[in-house]
Amino acid sequence: MKNVLVTGGAGYIGSHACKALRAAGFTPVTFDNLCTGWKDAVKFGPFEQGDLLDRARLDEVFAKYAPVAVMHFAALSQVGESMKEPGLYWRNNVGGSLCLIEAAVAAGCENFVFSSTCATYGEHDNVLLDETVEQHPINAYGASKRAIEDMLKDFEGANGLRHVIFRYFNVAGGDPDAEVGEFHRPETHLIPLMLDAIEGKRDALTIFGTDYETPDGTCIRDYVHVCDLVDAHVLGLRWLIDGKDSQVFNLGTGSGFSVREVIHHSNTVTNREVPYNEGPRRPGDCTKLVSGSTRAEKELGWTPTRSTMETMIADAWRWHQNGHYDK
């Protein structure tokens, strides 16, 4: 089977991608420093521990496995942290990606699938976001991802590195078989925080900001199931292997849910009330981020099948009750 180097393959999205790659006939090779990932999540192919800033280690792994492509998930991704410590995000996300891209080019690996984010767009109130909307990120996380997108375009012009860029909206849910799932320390994502509160693992969920210009005053986000998301990555990989041109795709459903609406759906799915408090806005949070793109559907043939809020919460709840990792 053909090898694919998966950076961040021990993390939430990366581990689900590894399972999808294995099912599609590839061998996922996880490259992870376990800073935020979990060794127990590496179940579908070999594991190589290392840091993206270690060029010599990257060269070793490329030489050992000769991957046909890179699938790049490894990144720091907390918006609030990026506002307080932007240097971490420029050094890790941008510096590490530069090192990875240079190693891929040197090894003759010309297919690159990149995990970007809708945070590159910034504030565009009442706009359904497609790939042509101007990018004006309002936090260092989004800015670091936009910089990597630009880097990939430059390396394509200079070295022929073809790429598929996926700009995610909010990723949620988990593997229906509960082999892997969402598990962060510290946890920052709404649905697992909500489920923690239901189970008494934290006192209450905090709603950050109730004065946004939305129908119920809370932020609105477009949620996509992690399994649908990684299915798109496999399609993007095949797109490149088939020799098609570099492309950018949004990955969202076009349906937005406010924080209060997500809480309502959780109450219904789990049959438990979510305890919550109301707090001030967090710096760097946008009012509304919803995809208005059909490019992934039209060009990749991508059709989300699990991205209803009920299914995402139910899959996350199953993992929350049964799954865990130890470093």
CATH 3.40.50.720-classified regions of the chain = 2-172+223-251
Going by C-alpha positions, the residue among 239, 255, 228 that lies closest to residue 165 is 239
For 294-323, write each residue's pLDDT tens digit: 999 999 999 999 999 999 999 999 988 876
What pLDDT score does 80 carry?
78
- Quick one: pLDDT at residue 24? 98
Tell me, what's the pLDDT at 323? 67
Q: What count of other Cβ atoms lies within 10 Å of the Cβ of residue 134?
A: 8
Task: Write the pLDDT tens digit of every residue in 9-50.
Answer: 999 999 999 999 999 999 999 999 999 899 999 999 999 999
At the fourth CATH level, the homologous superfamily of domain 190-221+254-322 is UDP-galactose 4-epimerase, domain 1 (3.90.25.10)
Summarize pLDDT for 226-269 with one digit per residue, the tens: 999 999 999 999 999 999 999 999 999 999 999 999 999 999 99
Sign of the Cα pseudo-torsion (191, 193, 199, 205, in order): negative
Per-residue pLDDT at 325: 64
- Residue 187: what pLDDT? 80
Catalytic residues: 141
Q: Range(s) for CATH 3.90.25.10 in the chain?
A: 190-221+254-322
DSSP string of 135-202, one letter each residue:
P--SSHHHHHHHHHHHHHHHHHHHH--EEEEEEE-EEE---TT-SS----SS---HHHHHHHHHTTSS
Segment (H or E) for 105: helix 96-106
Instruction: Please check whether the domain covering 2-172+223-251 is classified as CATH 3.40.50.1220.
Output: no
- pLDDT-derived band at 327 (thresholds 50, 70, 90) equals very low
Query: Considering the entire predicted model, what is its pTM?
Result: 0.94
Instruction: Give the Cα separation of 154 and 134 in Å (integer).
Output: 19
pLDDT confidence bin for 326, thresholds 50/70/90: low
Query: Quick one: average pLDDT of 186-194?
Result: 87
